Structure 1
Amino acid sequence: MGNLESPYPEVVKFYNYWLNFSSIMDFCWEDPYDEYDLSRVIRRGYKRWLKKNMKARKKAKKEYNNKVRDLAHNAKRLDKRVMQMMAKREEERKREMEKERERRKRLKKEKLAKAAMEYEEPEWTKVVERKRKYGDPEDEKEKEREEWECVVCRKGFRNEKQCRNHEQSKKHLRMVMELLKLKHYDMVAELIEVERNY
């Protein structure tokens, strides 16, 4: 239908018709039993022969419809108008995916920047600095109950070994690099120093 300059909605309508094609022919020529033969059959066998004829007609109609649909499918697959529209849609889809990727990246940066701006040094780091500077008057049991925390990832640990392992993990290093990228070098350097000394 149409030519290479036909609008795409017309092309779609054309292919939709032929891809959903169903013949109106009754395919009576496919009957295994002739009507003349059926009239001479006894009543009990008549219905059985009718069913066989209907089954043969349905099968022939289905095969015919499938052939027409296959032909339409092959024509659509090779149609330049359809190929151009598919390429155009694929390009649009890629552009949309790129926009979405950029939007997510921007939101992540904004979230990290906001978290970095809202960061306040926790009170416990000040206490730790005072303890380190002036000595710890508390007993050994209190030292065992100390809580370890990663300020960058905002994650708590039960002991120093877990905290040290976390500091060497990819996730922790990635978070530190993200903060460095946001040009908060002084704050990050201070956090790293506090974590090392703690």
Structure 2
Amino acid sequence: MTTSGDILKLFSKFSPRMEFSDSPSGFFGGLRAVFARLALEEEMACRADKLEFVGYPTFGSQSDNFEDVVRPFYTVWCSFSTKKSFSWKDIYRYSEAPDRRVRRLMEKENKRLREEGIREFNEAVRSLVAFVKKRDPRYKRGIQSEAQRRELLRQTAAAQAAKSRAVNQAKLREHVIPDWAKSEEAEEENPDSSGSELEQFECIICRKAFKSLNQFNAHERSKKHVKAVKQLRWEMRAENESLNLDQYMAPYSDHAQLEQCNDDSAASSFSHEESGKVQCGRTADADQNIAPIMEDTQEESGREFTEADTIFPVTHASHESSATILNPSGSDDVSERADDAVELLSQQMSTSALGQSQSTEIKKIGKAKQKRARKAAQQAQGQHPGLICTSCNAAFPSKTQLFAHLRRYDHAEPPIR
């Protein structure tokens, strides 16, 4: 059996004066015999252990072709891995083991020695192949020819690509787009541009753009937009008064717009009311009452826009909860009755110098509401006639609330007549 030491001794046989011939003492003849012996030993080891044999190619002769002999030889032998068991590296006999524990230790040590011998043998063979590969004239010539062949292929491919690019560029320069194709392209571009313009919705007051009509409508209903519209309206009125532009404007242009807003707000509020509570006559009266009040709002001068001008709390005389009602300039948020909205506007305008006709209308509306409140109080007293405080004539829905009132205000004692 050839060992790693035997292979390392072969390096000393190579010298610069060694002949590159097929004789047994020459380069090709001697190495061909060495590699043939190694291949035979591997075949015998595979047969003994019933393993699959790897076919190792021959080293060849001086005149062999690079593609047929030289390249396959170095491809296989550079990745050489022996199939020998290297059982001769064992130093312990298992029959001499006194017990099982000692036998396992012997097996472990012998296995380590075998693996070490296999590793050394593989490294020695691969080193020999690399050493021979550097000095093999056939491999050098084949590598040069292979490099030249690859370079030639690369140049050919580059020339072909350049030629193809030149032909394509020449065709592009010679190609002329017909007039009918240009007109179609222009027609295709114009609808896209016009469509993109139509799809844009912009709020000039808030300086915002929207992609769809639904978003734009939702923005118009928002409180922020309504507040901005009111602020702009007050600023424009202030500018008109400061520049004396009211005399050049139509006297009733703003009045018609305000009346239209009032009609829309009243219609939206009535749609949410219960059926039978609001009649057509009340709507007409509310519109008539709102119109003169809104006409007088333009006569106010120097008034600043504040948050108090936009939102007013209203408490209904019935058992409904208090709600917030906007003034007629923000018609999107009006959701209460028309008569309550008129009363709010009358209360707002009463602080300024209103005419006698306005005060008369406000008093009439206030009396109507007071009448409804008294009627509701009478109904409540009719339902609970016995739950009334004799001191202050206050009515209570339950005895618990009545007793709490008596204890809190000391009304349990009879009043002094």
- Report TM bin, short chain: 0.5 to 0.7
Task: Measure, in 1, the Cα distance between the counterparts of 2:156 and 2:135.
Answer: 31
Instruction: Pick the aligned partner of 2:168 from 81, 101, 111.
Output: 111
**What are the superposed Cα offsets for residues 28-57 of structure 1, whole Å, 9 maximum, x if unpaired?**
3433x4217x52331122123202211210
Name the SS of the counterpart of 1:95 in structure 2: helix
Change (3 A) 1:105 1:14: closer
Task: Measure, in 2, the Cα distance between the counterparts of 1:119 and 1:52.
Answer: 86
How far residue 116 of structure 1 moved from its aligned partner, in angstroms, is: 0.3
* 1:35 is aligned to 2:89: no
Name the SS of the counterpart of 2:85 in structure 1: coil
**What are the superposed Cα offsets for residues 95-130 of structure 1, whole Å, 9 maximum, x if unpaired?**
111011111111111111011001349879xxxxxx
* 1:3 is aligned to 2:61: yes
2:144 corresponds in structure 1 to 87
Task: Measure, in 1, the Cα distance between the counterparts of 2:159 and 2:109.
Answer: 64
Name the SS of the counterpart of 1:119 in structure 2: coil
Task: Measure, in 1, the Cα distance between the counterparts of 2:75 and 2:158.
Answer: 34
* 1:21 is aligned to 2:80: yes
State the TM-score, normalizing by the size of structure 2: 0.27
The question of whether the paired residues in 1 share the 8 Å contact of 2:82 and 2:118 is answered with: yes
Name the SS of the counterpart of 1:82 in structure 2: helix
Task: Measure, in 2, the Cα distance between the counterparts of 1:14 and 1:92.
Answer: 21
State the TM-score, normalizing by the size of structure 1: 0.53
Change (3 A) 1:103 1:23: same
Task: Measure, in 1, the Cα distance between the counterparts of 2:135 and 2:164.
Answer: 43
Task: Measure, in 2, the Cα distance between the counterparts of 1:22 and 1:51.
Answer: 22
How far residue 24 of structure 1 moved from its aligned partner, in angstroms, is: 4.5
Q: CA RMSD in A?
A: 2.5
How far residue 19 of structure 1 moved from its aligned partner, in angstroms, is: 2.5
Q: Which has the higher helix share?
A: 1
1:50 corresponds in structure 2 to 107
**What are the superposed Cα offsets for residues 113-153 of structure 1, whole Å, 9 maximum, x if unpaired?**
011001349879xxxxxxxxxxxxxxxxxxxxxxxxxxxxx
Task: Return the letter of the residue paired with 1:34.
Answer: Y
Task: Measure, in 2, the Cα distance between the counterparts of 1:50 and 1:104.
Answer: 66
2:71 corresponds in structure 1 to 12
Task: Measure, in 1, the Cα distance between the counterparts of 2:142 and 2:76.
Answer: 19
The question of whether the paired residues in 1 share the 8 Å contact of 2:92 and 2:106 is answered with: no
Instruction: Pick the aligned partner of 2:122 from 59, 65, 81.
Output: 65
Task: Return the letter of the residue paired with 1:94.
Answer: E
How far residue 14 of structure 1 moved from its aligned partner, in angstroms, is: 3.5
Task: Measure, in 1, the Cα distance between the counterparts of 2:88 and 2:64.
Answer: 39
Structure 1 stretch displaced more, 8-17 or 64-73: 8-17
How far residue 25 of structure 1 moved from its aligned partner, in angstroms, is: 3.8
Instruction: Pick the aligned partner of 2:134 from 72, 77, 86.
Output: 77
Change (3 A) 1:51 1:12: same
Question: Could you say which structure has the greater relative contact order, defined with CA pairs below 8 angstroms and 6 or more residues apart?
Answer: 1
Name the SS of the counterpart of 1:6 in structure 2: coil
Task: Measure, in 1, the Cα distance between the counterparts of 2:126 and 2:152.
Answer: 33
Task: Measure, in 2, the Cα distance between the counterparts of 1:55 and 1:40.
Answer: 18
Task: Return the letter of the residue paired with 1:66.
Answer: E
**What are the superposed Cα offsets for residues 71-107 of structure 1, whole Å, 9 maximum, x if unpaired?**
1122012211011111111101011110111111111
Change (3 A) 1:12 1:102: closer
Task: Measure, in 1, the Cα distance between the counterparts of 2:163 and 2:142.
Answer: 31
